[in-house]
Amino acid sequence: MKIKFRNTVQCCTATLLLLSAISCASNKIDSSRKLIWSDEFNGKGLPDSLKWNYDVGGGGYGNNEAQFYTKNRLENARMENGNLIIEARKENWENSKYTSARLLTKGKFSFQYGTVEVRAKLPKGRGTWPAIWMMSEKMKKWPDDGELDIMEHVGFNPGYIHASVHTKKYNHIQGTQKTDTLIVKDVSEKFHVYKAEWTPEKIDVYIDDQKFFTYENKEKTYEAWPFDQPYFIILNLAVGGFWGGKEGIDDQIFPQKYYIDYVRVYQTQ
């Protein structure tokens, strides 16, 4: 339907009313969720120790990974120009040939249900394996107590972003994990927003608001759905491993940087 206005004043008035209505609608949508935790990485130096712990060590972490994760080492994890940078380096360290970092909010922040948003630019090259994931604050046994992988990217398969859940019934050891993939060709050249929406009924995972993975709480058992408990957030850059190193490690690519612009967690009010 085409609307005709008699004069400029009437046209401007109608436009202002329309913009006002759009603004009100947007505000209403935004106000439906509350920011409960975030890190914008606007400082300089080491990550905020009030928000992040570290996993430290080598030994493969159950995945035959090649790196040694360090703690409080600027070369491997630092805030710079508004980003957290996790850097994997080729250097000998504690019987490992590479160093990197794995940061986690365990013991400092966990939550049950909500939306996690992480804006990040990924490293590239064969052997890199960055991830954004979550595990239970009360983890006693993996995979029984659950794992949510919001983003995984293995460098030998550039642009393929994976999201998965692992539970006692559904996990990669048994080959029964629930997973899906979205191809985003410029993940190492541009920042993208990786998001998970978690409710008692389901988990949805998105890239830039495009949903590509859903896991529903259909069976109502702990073996299939251990996600009714607080989880913490993990950011890491692995090197090699059963998956990340499936086609070897290209030593010519290092150092490689994993940029995280922000991490934000919302809950519905």
Phi and psi torsions of 7, nearest 5°: -155, 170
Question: Residue 238: in which H helix or E strand, if any?
Answer: strand 231-239
Q: Across the strands, what pairs with 203? A: 198, 215
Is 137 known to be catalytic? Answer: no
CA dist., res. 147 & res. 168, Å (int)? 10
CA dist., res. 205 & res. 203, Å (int)? 7
Nearest Cα residue to 120 out of 208, 37, 192:
192
Give me the catalytic one of 65, 87, 117, 147. 147
**28 secondary structure, DSSP code:** H
Phi and psi torsions of 197, nearest 5°: -110, 120
Nearest Cα residue to 211 out of 194, 189, 235:
194
Is 117 known to be catalytic? Answer: no
Rg (CA), the chain: 21
CA dist., res. 145 & res. 15, Å (int)? 53
- Residue type (1 letter), 62: G
Give me the catalytic one of 65, 87, 117, 152. 152
CA geometry: angle 173, 246, 151, nearest 5 deg: 65
- Residues labelled as active-site residues: 147, 152
